Structure 1
């Protein structure tokens, strides 16, 4: 039973990421490479954060808040470094690509025109590896044997009143989904700042919004240990909606189009539009038009030709001026 729970938790946690990967990344080899490269940059940021935490823990007694802040700053800096790397790659590809030729890596060379799509790809890579690191230890314990928190309860003789209990897998699943989507929005914001930093004085606004929302989400997550699960997830979901709406504005949309898109998505989900479309496409593929007999097609064709010839001849005799006009 524990293994079934673990598999179900993994499927539920990464189903939005799989849907985004299939829709925007799977068909392009360059995007797949950028996806995994984004995961690598996140791992590098966590490595430096761990080294900083080890150094601070040997000096200061309580380094939780400081280590958390350093970890967030390191992650945001890794997004900036990733953007700079892709921009360098773009300039190099533009130099070796002659005018009028197709680039060796069009996904990278089109950074100026498709930076939001690349930000989604790279941010999704960061979000997936972040959610995986967040959940894999807990999901491994879910597989058994035993129950989480039971040994500590037996030692102390009391149960933690703030524990999630049977809802703990659901809390981890929701946290993984939110974390994955948050990384996508944060990457779009930071990359928009990096792209406009030389032209607009207000270019720091998206980056500041990403940093502040990241700090807020991390602080809210720390409140789960006190039992405020419903409040924490509600506020985090509201912050995610605000971040998605802001990213929609960054990419050229409006708040009204964002609201309309959410409404249409809900209608499509309730009416099962995707499933109905898939069934209709399958029916069209399997449906075949019966062939007409050769005699009917031959007879109708010859009759039509004869009728056309006779009609043309009659028309030519009745109105010769028409043929002269056409010839002219």
Structure 2
């Protein structure tokens, strides 16, 4: 039973991200490089958050303190990664020109939304991995949660929250990069603020003396509501319109009918 729970929660959390990686990134070496680089920048933000948490001794026991600064450092390193990508544009174009035989397309460089999507997905995958790796390790046994009064929905809630964070980081990356490219700075606090909001709502999942029962739905429902909102904003930021979406759906419907 614990093995089934492990694989079920793993595929819930990382199944969509794995599919996106296989079908949109894995065949392009340049996208793989950007994905790994963005994941590394997320690790740097985690390192800085850990150093800050360790340095401020009186606040180590306050989970909200560490969470708040973790979000701040993540958004700071998202900005630094954006600056690094833009400064490396000329070099990336040269790589694409000399690597055409290796299927490295220059379109990835000129279409900045692709790089934003890839970097956001790398950010999200690394965030999800560090959020869930210890939980997944506990799922394989020898027992399972819920025996000593813990919620039996802990693993499932953790899996769905991890998936929401992966998708949100992907959408946040597109919106964030597009806002900087077009100087639409109003979207920057929207990304940072929504990131902070959803992160703070996860504090409701913590058991305390005043709240012995975690409120998972209070964090999961707003998270997926935000996934829909940010998905729509990211689609529009990438140049998508309702007309294009209808045309795409119609085209896919016709192709399936022919097959």
Distance 1:257 1:235 in 2: 28
Q: Do the aligned partners of residues 232 and 260 (structure 1) sit closer, same or farther apart at CA in structure 2, a change above 3 Å counting? A: farther
The one-character-per-residue Cα deviations of 1:63-102 (angstroms, maximum 9, x if unpaired) are 43232121111111111111111112113456xx5xxx96
The one-character-per-residue Cα deviations of 1:218-269 (angstroms, maximum 9, x if unpaired) are 0111112353222321221111111111112211234x4598599x59xx8x
Q: Which has the higher contact order (CA 8 A, sep 6+)?
A: 2
**Matches of residues 188-203 of structure 1 in structure 2 within 5 Å?**
188-197=174-183, 203=184
Q: Do the aligned partners of residues 5 and 258 (structure 1) sit closer, same or farther apart at CA in structure 2, a change above 3 Å counting? A: farther
Q: 1:124·1:180 contact (CA, 8 Å) conserved in 2? A: yes
SS of 2:144's partner is: coil
Distance 1:36 1:173 in 2: 23
Aligned to 2:78: 79
Q: 1:93·1:104 contact (CA, 8 Å) conserved in 2? A: no
Aligned to 2:209: none
Aligned to 1:89: 88
Give the alignment partner of residue 103 of structure 1, picking from 97, 100, 106. 97
Q: Alpha-carbon deviation of 1:17?
A: 0.4
Aligned to 2:120: 123
Q: 2:145·2:154 contact (CA, 8 Å) conserved in 1? A: no
Distance 2:186 2:247 in 1: 25
Q: Alpha-carbon deviation of 1:164?
A: 2.7
SS of 1:132's partner is: helix
Distance 1:108 1:69 in 2: 39
TM-score by length of 1: 0.67
Question: Do structure 1's residue 181 and structure 2's residue 181 form an aligned pair?
Answer: no
Give the alignment partner of residue 215 of structure 1, picking from 180, 192, 196. 196
Question: Do structure 1's residue 249 and structure 2's residue 236 form an aligned pair?
Answer: yes
Question: Do structure 1's residue 168 and structure 2's residue 154 form an aligned pair?
Answer: yes
Distance 2:9 2:25 in 1: 23
TM-score by length of 2: 0.84
Q: 1:185·1:247 contact (CA, 8 Å) conserved in 2? A: yes
Q: Alpha-carbon deviation of 1:127?
A: 0.7
Q: Alpha-carbon deviation of 1:109?
A: 6.2
SS of 2:88's partner is: helix
Distance 1:209 1:261 in 2: 30
Q: 2:54·2:60 contact (CA, 8 Å) conserved in 1? A: no
Distance 1:261 1:211 in 2: 33
Q: 2:59·2:65 contact (CA, 8 Å) conserved in 1? A: no
Q: Alpha-carbon deviation of 1:105?
A: 6.1
Q: Do the aligned partners of residues 221 and 14 (structure 1) sit closer, same or farther apart at CA in structure 2, a change above 3 Å counting? A: same
Q: Do the aligned partners of residues 257 and 211 (structure 1) sit closer, same or farther apart at CA in structure 2, a change above 3 Å counting? A: farther
Unaligned runs of at least 5 residues, structure 1: 154-158, 198-202, 281-328
Distance 2:121 2:84 in 1: 17
Aligned to 2:219: 232
Larger Rg: 1
Distance 2:96 2:18 in 1: 30
Q: Alpha-carbon deviation of 1:141?
A: 0.8
Unaligned runs of at least 5 residues, structure 2: 207-212
Distance 1:242 1:258 in 2: 18
Q: Alpha-carbon deviation of 1:14?
A: 0.9
Q: 2:171·2:230 contact (CA, 8 Å) conserved in 1? A: yes
